[in-house]
Amino acid sequence: MERAPIRPRTIRTLATAASTLLFTALLSLTSTGTAYAESAAGPCSDAYQIGRTGYIYYGKAIAASVKQFYSPSCRQNWGYVWVWESFRDRDIPYDVGVAVYSYTTGQQYGNKYTANTRRAAFWSGAANTVTHCTSGYGFMLIDNKIDAEGYSSKRC
DSSP state for residue 90 in the 8-state scheme: T
Average pLDDT score over the chain:
80
Distance from C-alpha of 66 to C-alpha of 53, rounded to nearest angstrom: 6
Residue-wise pLDDT tens digits, 62-89: 999 999 999 999 999 999 999 999 999 9
Three-state DSSP state, 26: helix
CA angle 13, 16, 17 (to 5 degrees): 85
Domain that holds residue 99: 44-151
Give me the number of domains the chain comprises: 1
**Do residues 101 and 145 make contact, with C-beta atoms less than 8 angstroms apart?**
no
List the beta bridge partners of residue 95: 141
CA 81, CA 84: separation in Å to the nearest integer? Answer: 9
Q: How far apart are CA 155 and CA 130, in angstroms?
A: 10
Distance (Å, rounded) from C-alpha 80 to C-alpha 100? 9
Q: Is 27 within the bounds of a domain?
A: no
Residue 145: the pLDDT is 86
pLDDT for res 150: 98
pLDDT of residue 8: 39
Residue 103 lies in a domain: yes
Rounded to whole angstroms, the Cα distance separating 83 from 65 reads 6
Strand pairing partners for 112?
98
The series of mean pLDDT values per 10 residues for the chain, 156 residues long, is 41 38 35 32 87 96 97 97 96 94 98 96 98 98 91 98
